[in-house]
């Protein structure tokens, strides 16, 4: 039986488990545009309504952002370099709609550069988000089903290719490159990004990357911090781009017999969807809409603990600082308190025998996925009694229990595809 295998880059991505995605964009300075125009990026309002020269971020400090991510315990950070307004956080030579046209750092500031430097300082792996599908500056919205081969769209494609070349050549190696909504395929008129990726960032993970790129990961199908109970790292989809033709739940589940190894990444904002921009953007007096540390831990268990990575949003204020530091510190502390020290671990084995009965809060199972996922069904036995049954393990499976006391915990594989290799089983 064929079992799709991860690349070494995808294996490294699995090990990171927790990352952040940092959102700072011009829409936070004109929230009224969303109220007046709905999806404002469908119009050319951005060009005239939000001039870079009119914003004055007095506390903009990318190092503070990255430090907050480090305090959380994140292992990687993705910076939204160009969101749906089309505003660029680096000194792009392609247009005049960028951070260099503000008065930050005297007009010569480069957020991308300072972000990269901060990641090096705090030991986080850096990534860049770039929106190809929505760009208010160029009046582009792929959801409107453009004539992608029109002269206007093809001119936009050239600008996209020029901007990502800047991003992928001027800041060193990137851990993850993020495409929100994916990329229009080349044959339909979309940008030809695979050759640029292979030339300059051939080791980068791509979220919803070009379908002919090697190290792709896919979208989990929602922005709620929730992976499906069985979230397979493989899929049979012909591309990593989520185009709306597959139901959300199926996009997240994947396929255990899939021929493409494209694991799911679970992204969510740090503020609830009732907040500005669905929680991704900052507005004052919305602190009450922050997720609690306990809510975030539940999302962690239902994403990282379901063979996915959790990518948590950071909403940067209009002053340019991240004001939800205490939330991140508390969440990071709660993760350490919950999973920092196991009661017992068996590396490579299937059973844990304790000296006496203890309360079991969590059982954590990790499969050796070097050669792919082989466990297709399993049971957890407590003192010989089945207390949980499911299908997918993969990189990590966290199973939460209430009111369970046991002296012995055993993993029983009930279905497999080829030889199973277990990394470990642990009790918390």
CATH number at residue 277: 3.20.20.80
**Would 83 be classed as within a structural domain?**
yes
Question: Which pLDDT tens digits describe the chain residue by residue (428 residues)?
Answer: 899 999 999 999 999 999 999 999 988 888 776 555 445 555 556 666 788 988 899 999 999 999 999 999 999 999 999 998 899 999 999 999 999 999 999 988 999 999 999 999 999 999 999 999 989 899 888 877 779 999 999 999 999 999 999 999 999 999 999 999 889 999 999 999 999 999 999 999 999 999 899 999 999 999 999 999 999 999 987 545 545 556 666 788 999 999 999 999 999 999 999 888 899 999 999 999 999 999 999 999 999 999 999 999 999 999 999 999 999 999 999 999 999 999 999 999 999 999 999 999 999 999 999 999 999 999 999 999 999 999 999 999 999 999 999 999 999 999 999 999 999 999 99
Last residue of a domain, one of 310, 339, 368: 339
User: Nearest CA to 321 among 181, 111, 39?
Assistant: 111
**Would 258 be classed as within a structural domain?**
yes
Q: What is residue 247's predicted lDDT score, i.e. its pLDDT? A: 61
**Do residues 126 and 178 touch, judged by C-beta distance below 8 A?**
no
Q: How many CA atoms lie within 13 A of 419 on its CB side?
A: 3
Q: 425 - beta bridge partners?
A: 346, 365
Provide the domain count of the chain. Answer: 2
Q: What is residue 142's predicted lDDT score, i.e. its pLDDT? A: 83
Residues 6+ apart with CB under 8 A from 295: none
Indicate if 269 and 412 belong to the same structural domain.
Answer: no
Indicate if 284 and 412 belong to the same structural domain.
Answer: no
Indicate if 275 and 364 belong to the same structural domain.
Answer: no
Indicate if 315 and 383 belong to the same structural domain.
Answer: no
Q: What is residue 37's predicted lDDT score, i.e. its pLDDT? A: 46
**Would 2 be classed as within a structural domain?**
no
Rounded-to-integer distance, Cα 132 and Cα 134, Å = 6
Indicate if 324 and 416 belong to the same structural domain.
Answer: no
Last residue of a domain, one of 296, 320, 339: 339
**Do residues 205 and 10 touch, judged by C-beta distance below 8 A?**
yes
Last residue of a domain, one of 323, 339, 355: 339
**CA distances to 1, 86, 182, 223, 240 from 258, in Å:** 11, 36, 20, 24, 13
By the 10 Å C-beta count (0-12 exposed, 13-18 middle, 19+ buried), 214 is classed as middle
Q: Provide the residue range defining the domain that includes 15.
A: 8-339
User: Nearest CA to 165 among 138, 198, 139?
Assistant: 198
Indicate if 140 and 278 belong to the same structural domain.
Answer: yes
H or E stretch at 363: strand 362-367
Q: What is residue 4's predicted lDDT score, i.e. its pLDDT? A: 97
**Would 97 be classed as within a structural domain?**
yes
We report the CATH number of the domain holding residue 353 as: 2.60.120.260
**Do residues 312 and 19 touch, judged by C-beta distance below 8 A?**
yes
**Would 1 be classed as within a structural domain?**
no
């Amino acid at each position: 039986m064929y079992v799709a295998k991860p690349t070494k880059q995808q294996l490294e991505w699995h090990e990171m488990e927790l990352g952040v995605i940092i959102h700072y964009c011009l829409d936070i300075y004109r929230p009224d545009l969303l109220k007046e125009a709905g999806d404002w990026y469908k119009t050319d309002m951005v060009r005239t309504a939000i001039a870079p020269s009119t914003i004055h971020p007095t506390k903009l400090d990318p190092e503070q952002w990255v430090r907050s991510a480090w305090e959380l315990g994140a292992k990687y950070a993705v910076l939204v370099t160009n969101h749906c307004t089309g505003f660029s956080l680096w000194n792009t030579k392609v247009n005049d709609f960028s951070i260099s046209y503000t008065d930050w750092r005297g007009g010569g500031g480069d957020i991308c550069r300072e972000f990269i430097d901060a990641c090096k300082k705090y030991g986080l792996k850096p990534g860049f988000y770039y929106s190809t599908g929505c760009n208010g500056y160029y009046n582009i919205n792929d959801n409107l089903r453009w004539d992608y081969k029109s002269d206007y769209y093809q001119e936009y494609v050239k600008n996209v290719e020029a901007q990502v070349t800047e991003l992928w050549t001027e800041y060193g190696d990137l851990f993850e490159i993020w495409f929100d909504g994916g990329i229009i395929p080349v044959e339909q008129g979309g940008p030809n990004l695979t050759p640029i990726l292979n030339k300059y960032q051939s080791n980068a993970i791509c979220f919803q990357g070009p379908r002919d790129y090697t190290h792709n990961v896919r979208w989990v199908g929602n922005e709620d911090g929730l992976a499906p109970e069985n979230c397979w790292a493989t899929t049979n989809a012909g591309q990593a781009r989520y185009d709306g033709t597959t139901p959300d739940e199926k996009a997240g589940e994947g396929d255990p017999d899939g021929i493409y190894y494209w694991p799911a990444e679970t992204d969510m904002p740090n503020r609830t969807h009732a907040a500005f921009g669905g929680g991704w953007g900052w507005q004052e007096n919305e602190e009450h809409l922050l997720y609690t540390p306990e809510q975030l831990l539940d999302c962690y268990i239902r994403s990282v603990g379901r063979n996915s990575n959790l990518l948590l949003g950071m909403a940067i204020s209009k002053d340019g600082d991240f004001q939800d530091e205490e939330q991140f510190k508390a969440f990071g502390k709660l993760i350490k308190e919950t999973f920092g020290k196991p009661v017992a671990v068996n590396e490579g084995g299937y059973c844990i025998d304790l000296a006496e009965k203890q309360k079991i809060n969590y059982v954590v199972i990790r499969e050796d996925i070097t050669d792919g996922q082989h466990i297709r069904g399993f049971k957890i036995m407590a003192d010989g009694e089945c207390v949980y049954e499911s299908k997918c393990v993969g990189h990590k499976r966290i199973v939460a229990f209430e009111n369970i006391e046991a002296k012995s915990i055993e993993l029983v594989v009930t279905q497999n595809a080829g030889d199973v290799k277990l990394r470990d089983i642990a009790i918390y």
